[in-house]
Amino acid sequence: MPLRSRLCLELPDWIEAHLPAGPLPDVEQRMKLVLELAAGNIDHETGGPFAAAVFDSAHRLVAAGVNLVTRSRCSSAHAEIVALSLAEQACNDYRLPRGHELVISAEPCAMCLGAIPWSGVDGIVTSATDADIRAIGFDEGSKPENWAAALERRGIRVRRNLLRQQGRAVLERYRARGGEIYNGHALSDGG
């Protein structure tokens, strides 16, 4: 098999119709958009029940991402990574300018948590909790119990549980529709 030399991740076509034309000054508006994208990913069967978006200091959408793991056959194609990567490309820099915020449909997994400080965002906002995610069967990996405080020590604001009931409802909907629960190797099967 020849060595692959290119990776291409593309958002599903349906997303464009859901993107706002102007700023979303209210954080609840921003979260509602992200939860709508997560629900859309379920409805269109284009990936897992997760979405994220990066907004600039004027609350304009810079980039959106949905979970593309199964669609792209790429374990790192989590919504946060997709949104951050597209935002960095839009800003033409590997580090986002000051004032950018990452809004996420659920708390970050271990991998995405590691990417947040590297991205340059000044704040994150989350909806569903780690416990909500694990309750439907996803393994979020090993992350510190005090992950939010660790981000705040780095100067990254953290707001949790915004519209949590709606975020949890998106996850429950995914499970009820028989969405694929994909995980890496569990500790019980040899690591």
CA atoms of 65 and 53, how far apart (whole Å): 6
Give the residues of the chain that fall short of pLDDT 70. Answer: 184-191
* Beta-bridge partners for 53: 64, 103
In angstroms, what CA-CA distances link 114 with 58, 117, 129, 150, 189?
A: 26, 7, 17, 11, 24
E strand spans, 22-162: 51-55, 61-66, 101-106, 123-128, 157-159
pTM: 0.94
Which CATH code is given to the segment(s) 22-175? Answer: 3.40.140.10
Residue 145 is predicted with a pLDDT of 92
Q: What is the pLDDT of residues 43-74, one digit of tens each?
A: 999 999 999 999 999 999 999 999 999 999 99
Read off φ and ψ for residue 123, nearest 5 degrees. Answer: -160, 155
What is the structure's pLDDT at 191?
42
Q: What is the pLDDT of residue 75?
A: 93
